[in-house]
Amino acid sequence: MIRIDQSKITQAAAQKLIATCPFGAISQDDKGNLVIGEGCRLCKQCLKADPAGALSLEVQENKAADIDSWSGITVVAEFLGGTLHPVTLELLGKARELSGGKMPISVILIGNETAEAAKTLSRQGADEVYVYDDKALHAFEPLRFSACAEDAIRRIRPAVVMIGATIAGRSLAPRLAARFKTGLTADCTLLEMRENGELLQTRPAFGGNVMASIVTRTRPQMCTVRYRVFDAPEAACSTTGRILQMELPAFDGRIEIVSAADKNAEKDLSEADAIVAVGRGCASRKNLEDAQKLAELLGARLGCTRPMVEAGHFDVKHQIGLSGRTVKPKYIIALGISGSVQFAAGMQATDLIIAVNNDPEASIFKIAHIGYCCDAGEFLPHLIEEIEQYKAKRKGAEEE
């Protein structure tokens, strides 16, 4: 923070400092004292322009976090509508990898009629499953669920807390971070555990133009991870973890859920095994019709980039990328897509990436397994024709 020696402030010096601040954070109060407000960004321009030496920079060292009393990894499960969200198993698998068998792994399970889900989690690598099961938890209510998760975390004292970046998870995670006065890294794409127990959390920053690696000095270290970023465990563990039935913590609720109904929604793009994705280089009506036809021929889903949503061609539920859906299909055909960091981060775990772009320098070619440098509009009719001919021959052979 910047300290002010009011005895050295003259009216002329005050006016100069007020004019110097690019954020308008410096002013004078009713008594003529110089005041630095909340708008200060510590750019230090005022220190350089201080004519009387009235300002000084005071650096306060943060007290070292009490890290020794926090250990292990905890996953906050998502159990809604009687179903365990797949992202929970993905996080549990990542927790097993990060622990390397050296740290305890626990899961917090909150919901109603959770018995089978608890057994699944105990078989998939959780040493302990803390279960909060009650009729009052049949539907997600942020404050009530936060109270349960907070109660468990205070008992477990884990060094790391992992939460799925779902609609519910994004509502729950910041509330928990605020209650523990700790940091929260959202939408992580990579997690690594250092030897000293620090979690290196990597996520896109500055609009997705760079990948930032973040370390949280406080405990617990909290992060959210999107569905389909990590792999779920392929097999159950040889041992089964303990299941602990917990009592609901005292809760002064201000919200009562009277009823809850499932929304009739189409299958999420994240679940697709095959995707045909289109970008600005494939934005004409004819190209979009051909892309839809190709998707139908392949039994694939149609996806898009953010500019295609902003142009009104698609709904946001079809968007692939950091601000859309994270996908991990068996293959994806990217048509007229440059391959920005935001888009690439949302589909880079795809088994096979086929890219079509007329710019040989397009970033998409850096991550593509197969690339065609040509116009997507010219490429599509030929590919459709080839697939139709192949299907016709195959059908004829089967009939014979």
- What does the domain layout of the chain look like in residue ranges? 2-57, 73-245, 269-399
Q: For residue 169, what pLDDT is reported?
A: 96
Structure confidence at residue 43 (pLDDT)? 83
Query: Cβ contacts of residue 191 below 8 Å, gap of 6+?
Result: 94, 98, 162, 199, 200, 201, 202, 223, 225
Which pLDDT does position 237 carry in this prediction?
Answer: 79
Q: What average pLDDT does range 368-381 have in this prediction? A: 94
CA distance 90 to 228: 8
What integer pLDDT is reported at residue 102 of this predicted model? 92
Closest by CA position to 320, among listed 367, 284, 261, 286: 367
Say how many C-beta atoms besides its own lie within 10 A of residue 233's C-beta: 17
Q: How far apart are CA 269 and CA 259, in angstroms?
A: 28
Lowest mean pLDDT among 113-122, 162-171, 263-272, 343-352: 263-272
Q: How far apart are CA 243 and CA 116, in angstroms?
A: 11
Residue 60: band (very low, low, confident or very high) from pLDDT cuts 50, 70, 90? low
> What pLDDT score was predicted for residue 232?
87
pLDDT digits (tens, 9 = 90+) for 11-35: 888 899 999 898 889 999 888 899 9
At residue 207, the pLDDT reads 62
Q: Indicate the fold that domain 73-245 takes in CATH.
A: Rossmann fold (3.40.50)
Q: What is the pLDDT of residue 44?
A: 85
Q: Comparing C-alpha atoms, which of 253, 304, 242 is closest to residue 279? A: 304
Res 130 pLDDT > 60:
yes
At which residue do the structure tokens 């971070």 appear?
Answer: 177
**What is the arithmetic mean of pLDDT over 340-360?**
89
Q: How confident is the model at residue 264 (pLDDT cuts 50, 70, 90)?
A: low
Give the distance from CA 242 to its chain's centroid.
29
| 2-57 and 269-399, same CATH topology | no
Whole-number percent of the chain with pLDDT over 70: 96
pLDDT of 287 above 90: yes
Task: Express each pLDDT in 190-246 by its tens digit.
Answer: 999 999 899 999 987 766 667 788 999 899 999 999 998 898 887 777 778 999 999
Tens digit of pLDDT for each residue in 314-342?
999 999 987 788 899 999 999 999 998 87
The percent of residues above 90 in pLDDT, for the chain, comes to 63
CATH for 269-399, options being 3.40.140.10, 3.40.1190.20, 2.30.40.10, 3.40.50.1220: 3.40.50.1220
Across residues 105-112, what is the average pLDDT? 97
Give the CA distances from residue 17 to residues 10, 56, 71, in Å, rounded to whole numbers and listed in that order.
11, 13, 48
Torsion 152-156-157-159 (CA) sign: negative
Write out the two tokens for 318.
């079809």
**Residue 201 burial (C-beta neighbours within 10 Å; 0-12, 13-18, 19+):** buried
Q: Which CATH class is domain 2-57?
A: alpha beta
Angle in degrees, 0-180, between the axes of helices 167-179 and 142-156, rounded to the nearest 10: 50
- Position 267 scores a pLDDT of 75
